[in-house]
Structure 1
Amino acid sequence: METLIAGQLTDFITTAYLFGDESRLPEADESLLEAGVLDSTGVLELIEFLEDTFEISVEDSETIPENLGSIAGLTRFVQSKTGQAAGAV
């Protein structure tokens, strides 16, 4: 499941923010903000994507860099919100 979630997140980020340029995609644990991939508006769009795609609710208190700052963090966050154990396939 982790690979599926990470793939969906990577596809969305590549399409929505990098216009398909996978060469600009940071490593999974690199900050999307520091890499210039996301800005404050992008974070809001990302939250909407998470809520729609994974049918979760992102609370204001959860909008922290540990949850939304990298693809790895996003993957862990979605897994925790959907009840998926880390490493599960």
Structure 2
Amino acid sequence: MKEIEKQIKDFIFENFLIGQSTRDLKNDVSFLDEGIIDSTGMLELVAFIENTYGIVVEDEELIPENLDSINRIIAYLERKGCLFSKLRG
């Protein structure tokens, strides 16, 4: 699970928090509430998730409860069933 967390954090820092330390972002911080990601950035995040984890994020799944923090993304990926295969792979 730590590898998945690292992949997501690396993406956030490389694309939205350039030059900041990864220690500055806690896993439960809201990307939207903190102004880390806007609506365009959310589309970039979705593309990253789809490409990295081989899933399709359905329109009805584009809600903050699924994608608004590192913890929420990890929980979403678990519900989609893709983490187990990624960790075994």
Q: What's the TM-score bracket when you normalise by the shorter of the two chains?
A: 0.7 to 0.9
The structure whose residues are more often helix, as a share, is 2
Deviates more, 1:28-37 or 1:75-84: 75-84
Contact 2:17/2:36 (CA < 8 Å) preserved in 1? yes
RMSD, matched Cα:
2.1
TM-score by length of 2: 0.84
- Who is 1:4 aligned against? 3
Distance 1:81 1:25, change over 3 A: farther
Change (3 A) 1:23 1:57: closer
- Are 2:74 and 1:62 equivalent residues in the alignment? no
Q: Unaligned 5+ residue runs, structure 1?
A: none
TM-score by length of 1: 0.84
Runs of 5+ consecutive residues of structure 2 not aligned to the other structure: none
Identity %: 41
Greater relative contact order (Cα < 8 A, sep 6+): 1
The alignment covers a number of residue pairs equal to: 86
